[in-house]
A and B are shown apart, each in its own frame.
Chain A
Amino acid sequence: MSARVLLVSTNRERAPYPVIPNGLACVASALDAAGHDVRVLDLMFARDPERTASRIARELAPDVVGVSVRNIDNSDAIALRHYTPDAVATLAALRESAPRAKIVAGGAAFGVAPLALFRALGVDYAVAGDGERATVALVDALAAGREPGEIPGLVRARDGGAVFSPPGENADLDALPRPQLHRWFDLARYERIGATVPIQTKRGCVYKCVYCTYRNVEGWGYRLRDAESVADEIAELRAHGVRHFDFVDSTFNSPPGHARDVCAAIARRRLGVTLETTNFTPAAAFPDLLEAMRGAGFTSLGITAESASDVVLERMRKGFSATTVHRAAERVEAAGIRALWIFLVGGPGETAETLEETLRFADWRLRRGDAVYTTVGLRVYPGTTLHEIAIGEGRLAADDPLLDPAFYFSPGLTIDAAVARLRRFAAGHPRFMFSADSRSMILPWLTRAASVVRLPRPHWRYMGLFQRLARMHPLRRAGASAG
């Protein structure tokens, strides 16, 4: 039996840059391959998301509505945005307009808090972890009029409560349909607002960073895609006009052998593409790998160092030292690849001294032409080591489901002192981006303008100019004086 399925992407966030819903495309392609009639509604560009969702749901009269929730919030203590209320409003509109449809929710957020989100959103079912097999099994059952039962990864209501069947053995990624982003989304429109087209070469992570949810969302260990299949996907999207790609793995360069194979497969095709990733670990910045990345088309890297202080790196369990961070900087520069350094300020062990260590590193890299992006405070997510640390330090109650964002900030430094120091540093360093500035009303428009006139990516390379223009803008000045 085939079902009519409406899949809805609720994510409308455009800062620091908009994200194309790769996970929803994976599920759409899997349902399509299983013979279901799939329609995707992307609310990113909807003027009135609830009204649009209602209209499409009424027109389509779906059997099943799938709603993706990418994030619970933006994890930013300074400029917090909470997404669950918008998802609740969209779900209410869909429920009213498609009263006979079963409502299923999924997305990365469910890997973080499956039961709590299921209860908060009031859906019929939810899927946590890999979405492809669980969603197909669920829709197959619903289409056949069967009770879905214990599908691995499924959350459902039972006996007045909710029950979660933990994800079983994770899927072989090469056995799943490719996401085929061009079939489901207007990629050119996304690129015009500054988005990059995502490619996943693996799922899972082995690192033990205390704050991170990747292992909860994608599982422990690496599931690697065949390098030629990755190159096939890029070639297919290239044929549909996409020239620039962003690798969105937990860490692109781990394990390095697989990253080398992927780069070699892309280079062999001579596709004329440019590449970037915002998930590059300093721990595996090997010269031969960087050379292979350059040969494949990499023009920039986002390096998730998080700190340049041994004390903080050790406490965050990053798996590398400050020496490794410095060495990676030299190697990336020698390879001729631009770097955006990403730091988290306020993690366990942070003090005024450790912050100065990181800022000295940042000053060095900014003078060498790199850019730096910094957020303040660490969002505490359920099931992470940071959650245990926060409970142990008496900062959080053990039974807090953490759907309302809670942040960890080191007891060795006040958040006000950190913000004041970062603002002083930013004033003298135009390519230093502070998360609060990414909320400036003018910055997304400047990024969009860079996309429209087809300035070479990454657009953060123009951030010095953007920041100067943004600081001249009356809305930014009004916000600064009010704050």
Chain B
Amino acid sequence: MPYVITEACINTKDKACVDVCPVDCIYEGPEQLYINPDECIDCGACEPECPVTAIFPEEDVPQQLKHYVQLNRDVFASPNPPGRPTR
């Protein structure tokens, strides 16, 4: 089960998670970061790095944030998918 980035990342985009991702599967959108669910290897390295507790395993996403599971998936199929994070 992949990890999912949720609401707390909006306008935070700390990117500490990007540094520890072993497969570079975290991408940057205009407002927040996203994990590509097809590339995530389910290692969990990003979760403890997030300073605002925005990252959850898919099965543990709080009920009120469940729509971020689909959002993390849909955004990569959109006409303007997120790109490599900037520094």
Residues of A within 8 A of B (CB): 206-208, 221-222, 251, 254-258, 281, 283-284, 286, 319-320
Contacts and interface: CB of A to CB of B under 8 A. Distances in A.
A255 B20 CA distance: 6
Contact of A284 (B19, B20, B24): B24
B19 A206 contact: no
B84 to A, nearest CB: 10
B23 A254 contact: yes
B20 A283 contact: no
15 contacts: A206-B43, A206-B44, A221-B45, A222-B20, A254-B22, A255-B45, A256-B22, A257-B18, A257-B19, A258-B19, A281-B22, A283-B41, A284-B23, A319-B23, A319-B43
Nearest to A319: B41
B21 interface: yes
Nearest to A285: B23
A207 B19 contact: no
B8 to A, nearest CB: 21
Nearest to A320: B41
Contact of B45 (A206, A256, A283, A284): A206
Given A254-B22, A281-B22, 12 more contacts: A206-B20, A206-B22, A207-B43, A221-B20, A222-B45, A254-B23, A255-B21, A255-B24, A256-B24, A257-B24, A284-B24, A320-B23
Nearest to A282: B23
Contacts of B44: 206
Please provide the 3 A-B residue pairs with the shortest distance between their CB atoms, ordered closest to farther.
Answer: A319-B41, A254-B22, A206-B43
Contacts of A258: 19
A168 to B, nearest CB: 17
B13 to A, nearest CB: 16
Contacts, number: 47
Contacts of B48: 221
B22 A255 contact: yes
Interface residues of B, number: 13
B60 interface: no
Interface string B1-28: 0000000000000000011111110000
B42 A283 contact: no
Interface of B: 18-24, 41-45, 48
A207 B22 contact: yes
A257 B19 CA distance: 7
A208 B22 contact: no
A207 B20 contact: no
Contact of B24 (A222, A251, A286): A286
Contacts of A222: 20, 22, 45
A208 B42 contact: yes
B33 to A, nearest CB: 14
Contacts of B43: 206-208, 319
A258 B19 CA distance: 8
B22 A284 contact: yes
A320 B48 CA distance: 22
A145 B52 CA distance: 48
A354 to B, nearest CB: 20
Contacts of A206: 20, 22, 43-45
Contacts of A320: 23, 41
A319 B20 contact: no
Nearest to A254: B22
A182 B19 CA distance: 32
B62 to A, nearest CB: 24
A255 B17 CA distance: 11
B41 A255 contact: no
Contacts of B22: 206-207, 222, 251, 254-256, 281, 283-284
B19 A319 contact: no
A320 B23 CA distance: 10
Nearest to B24: A256
Contacts of A255: 19-22, 24, 45
A172 to B, nearest CB: 15
A281 B19 CA distance: 17
A255 B19 CA distance: 7
A283 B18 contact: no
Contacts of A207: 22, 41, 43
Nearest to A258: B19
Contacts of A221: 20, 45, 48
B18 to A, nearest CB: 7
A291 to B, nearest CB: 15
Nearest to A259: B22
Contacts of A281: 22
A229 to B, nearest CB: 17
A285 B8 CA distance: 31
A256 B21 CA distance: 8
A227 to B, nearest CB: 13
Contacts of B20: 206, 221-222, 255
B19 A283 contact: no
Nearest to A206: B43
Nearest to A221: B45
B21 A319 contact: no
Contacts of A208: 41-43
A317 B41 CA distance: 9
Instruction: Select the residue from A206, A208, A258 with max chain B CB neighbours within 10 A.
Output: A206
